[in-house]
């Protein structure tokens, strides 16, 4: 009986110890781009000024809240644009450092998003289903 309890303890410990988590905190944006059919249609290199942040909070289990704040200015004399968006995602790991993000908001549930954690960066690629545009955002994980 002790042996069975020991095996259960070892098995459950390895399951929970191996659970992967996204980093939490506030991270500065490095770059963004919009592509369609493999061709860049807009990126941070096309604007005069760009800054963005991503704040990640763990809600429960594999549910995370993402708060994205973006500030853009097309030319030095143009009006600056800013937007903040809040989404909750279910994280599905597909490897040691990559996975899928399933948006819990019904109006965005058709968008496919994937992430890659590599070399201190978090890159998120999202396919906007209605337009076929792929949005790529990269943040520095400090």
At residue 29 the predicted structure's pLDDT band, cuts being 50, 70 and 90, is very high
Give the pLDDT confidence of 71-127 residue by residue, as tens digits: 999 999 999 999 999 999 999 999 999 999 999 988 877 778 999 999 999 999 999
At residue 142 the predicted structure's pLDDT band, cuts being 50, 70 and 90, is confident
At residue 16 the predicted structure's pLDDT band, cuts being 50, 70 and 90, is very low
pLDDT of residue 128: 79
pLDDT of residue 14: 37
Return the percentage of the chain with pLDDT > 70, whole number.
87
The 3-state DSSP class for residue 61 equals: coil
* Residues contacting residue 129 through CB under 8 Å, at least 6 positions apart: 110, 111, 112
| Class of 21-140 in CATH | mainly beta
How far apart are alpha carbons 30 and 9 in whole angstroms? Answer: 43
Q: What is the mean pLDDT of the chain?
A: 86
pLDDT of residue 7: 34
Query: Would you kindly state where each structural domain of the chain is located, as residue ranges?
Result: 21-140
How far apart are alpha carbons 130 and 139 in whole angstroms? Answer: 25
Give the pLDDT confidence of 126-140 residue by residue, as tens digits: 997 678 899 999 999
**Cα-based distances in Å from 4 to 7, 11, 39, 87:** 5, 11, 58, 43
What DSSP assignment string belongs to 114-142?
EEEEETTEEEEEEEETTTTEEEEEEEE--
Q: Which residues pair with 135 in a beta bridge?
A: 34, 126
């Amino acid at each position: 009986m002790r042996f069975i309890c020991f095996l259960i303890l070892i098995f459950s410990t390895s399951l929970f110890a191996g659970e992967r988590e996204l980093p939490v905190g506030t991270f500065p944006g490095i770059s963004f781009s919009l592509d369609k059919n493999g061709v860049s249609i807009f990126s941070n290199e096309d604007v005069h000024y760009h800054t963005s942040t991503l704040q990640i909070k763990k809600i429960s289990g594999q549910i995370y809240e993402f708060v994205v704040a973006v500030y853009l200015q097309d030319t030095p004399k143009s009006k600056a644009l800013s937007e903040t968006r809040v989404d909750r995602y279910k994280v599905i790991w597909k490897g040691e450092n990559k996975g899928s993000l399933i948006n819990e908001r019904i109006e965005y549930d058709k968008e496919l998003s994937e992430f890659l954690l590599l070399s201190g960066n978090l890159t998120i690629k999202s396919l906007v289903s209605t337009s076929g545009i792929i949005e790529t955002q990269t943040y520095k994980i400090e």
